[in-house]
Each structure stands twice: as structure tokens, then as C-alpha cells.
Amino acid sequence: MFTLFDMIRSSLSYVNLSTVLKNRIYTILAGIGNFYLLYVAFRFFQNGFWGRGTLFILAFLVILYFTYLNILYYFTKAKKSKYDISPWIEKVLHIQSKDPMTAAEEERKEMAPGYVQTNGIFKNEDFLPATVVHTMEQRDNIQQIAAELIRMDYMKADYQGLSEEEIAEKIQTTGKPVPALSAPVALPYFELARKGNSLIVYGGLNQIDRKEVATVKEVGLLTAREAVKRYQLYLATAVITGGPEKINGRTGLIEKDTPYGVQVQVAYRERAAEEPSTNQRRSTITSSSEISSTPEHLTRSQHETFDEFGPRQSTPAPQKHWRSQKYKH
């Protein structure tokens, strides 16, 4: 019997099953196999070996008791019995056991990429949260990227592997919807770049397939335009958030098809006021060379554009003022 159980245990190790599911299988096997001890005890009693038969009966009752506790824990919502002596045994034997349910949840979190993907290691920089907005095109790009990451099994939108009953119980306990993503998932590739007068976040599977995913609106308490004037900005993290979530309905769980979004974190450094950056010097040279070719009717505001991460200052175009003349008759 024990050889058979060992073969089954070894076979299960080759299959990628959750901790909870494995323990449910072991509980069923223990409950069925325990009756073999009852049969052995009966045979001992038949042959007159009352001492051995009594020991097997006691072993049967002990295993039956713990099988009962496991059935409550893994198959019912009660989870615990008031006759549970496990805490007392742990206290006496100084055992620090780990909750299998908690271990399974931690295992699911470890499997999720989360914030592991960063754009380098930042030591001397400070971080600021950035507020981003999405155009319709950018939002569509995010959904396409998320679908591809799910297909590649890089991102798991499986409600943390919870069953329908577990999801309903979690909603009832927390009073909040259960998201499909257990944690934000980092984009495999992301970067911050200028496009016109806007700071655009690009992301995707790699640099070749990058797409626009967000536009930076604010950095900290400053607008993006003001922030690039005062700081050197660097994109540190970009993660996918949101997505579908489940809530309780009248007849059961309902899935809300919430779109995925992107959140970013920006590292920054103070700009040295007395030392203009290389980009600013380059932009000054460029703007001075462009004065001669600037149409006269353009104003200064139409010439002001962003540098790589700051404004490019250009000399205002001269404007001619025509004086009125009186014609002699």
C-alpha cells in the first residue's frame, strides 16, 4: 500500500499542480487507503492477535481524524473544527507550520513578473509618480500588448488560480472586486521619448514592435512641460494594470471587462542652472542657424518646441511694422 502511495506521489511531482489541489488528492488517497488498516485489524482479530489488531484500530482512528480535518480545510468553507488539536501539537513539539493556502498564494505571486522589470538600476536618483493619459489608439495598443503577453504566458490573468467559490468568498470578505491580475506586470520593453510637444511612453514586447501606450501629463505636482524644464527625467518602470475583474451578481459572479492601463514611475535629477546641457547648447546653435530661413510672419510661440527632455529656446522671429503713408494727389 505504501509503495503504491509513493508511486502516486512521485507521479504527481511530474505534473504542475497547485499546492491546494495536490493536498486534496493526498487527502482522498489517505481516506481510501486508511480503510486498508481497518481490514488488517479485522484479520488480526480473526486470527486471535488482539494486541496487534488494537494497534491497527488506533492507527485507523488517528488517520481518520486527521483526514476529517483535511476534508474540512480543503473541501469546505468551514476550514477549521472546534475539535482541532493541531495547534496544541505544534505548540508541544515546537513546530512552525506554514498554511498551505498562504503558501499557494505566495507561489502565485512569485510566478507573476510584477515589478521585476526595470529600466536599469537607479542609485542616486529620486522617484516621482507620473500621471499618464491614454488616447484611443494608445488604449488599443495596450490591449493588443496585454493579449500577446497572456498568449506567451508572460502575464497570467487567471484570477490568481482561485476557483469560483474562492473568488466569491474573497469578494465577500474584502468587499472589493477580484482582479484577473494578482499584481501589476512590467512591460518587457519601455522607453520615454519626445513627440512634438508631448512626452510619450512607448512599450511592447521589444524595441522593434514598440507602440505608443501613454502620454505623460504630470510628473509629481508639475505638468510634464514644467517638469522637463526643471528636471532631467528618466523612465524607471512601466507596468500594466487594470484588466478584467469579477464581482458578485444576483445569480453568481459577473466579469467586468475593464480595459488594461499603464502606470509609470519616473526618476529625476535637478538640472544645473549654471551648466546648460549638451542638448540645450545644440538646440541654441540650431535655432540660430534657422533664423535666416524663418518666415517673417511667424511669432515666437510658434517656434518654441521641446528639446529631448526640455524646452528648446529659439530667438524670436523679427516682425515688421508697416507705417501708414499718405499719398499725394
**Whose grid coordinates read 487507503?**
33
- Looking at residue 163, its pLDDT comes to 81
Sign of the CA dihedral with 44 first, then 45, 48, and 51 last = positive
- Looking at residue 16, its pLDDT comes to 55
List the chain pLDDT tens, one digit each, 329 residues: 556 656 665 665 555 566 777 778 888 888 888 888 889 999 999 888 999 899 999 999 988 988 888 888 878 766 677 778 777 777 777 776 666 555 555 555 554 444 445 667 776 667 788 899 999 999 999 999 999 999 988 888 888 888 888 888 888 888 889 999 888 899 999 999 888 888 999 999 998 989 999 999 998 888 888 888 888 888 888 999 999 999 888 778 888 889 999 999 888 888 764 445 445 554 443 444 443 444 443 333 333 444 445 444 444 444 444 444 444 44
- Looking at residue 212, its pLDDT comes to 94
Predicted TM-score (pTM) of this structure: 0.53
C-alpha 155/C-alpha 186 separation (Å) is: 9
- Secondary structure (3-state) at 27: helix
- Secondary structure (3-state) at 299: coil
Backbone angles phi, psi at 271, to 5 degrees: -80, 135
C-alpha 187/C-alpha 284 separation (Å) is: 36
- Looking at residue 75, its pLDDT comes to 82
Question: 157-162, long-range: CB within 8 Å, 24+ apart, which pairs?
Answer: 157/181, 157/243, 157/244, 159/246, 160/105, 160/108, 161/18, 161/104, 161/108
Question: And the C-alpha cell for 63?
Answer: 488517520
Do residues 244 and 258 touch, judged by C-beta distance below 8 A? yes
- Looking at residue 1, its pLDDT comes to 55
Helices (H), the chain: 2-13, 19-46, 50-75, 86-93, 100-111, 136-151, 164-174, 224-230, 278-289
Which amino acid makes up residue 4? Answer: L
Do residues 210 and 189 touch, judged by C-beta distance below 8 A? yes
Which amino acid makes up residue 242? Answer: G
The CA angle 91-97-103, to the nearest 5 degrees, is 155
- Looking at residue 234, its pLDDT comes to 87
Q: How many CA atoms within 13 Å lie on the side-chain side of 58?
A: 6
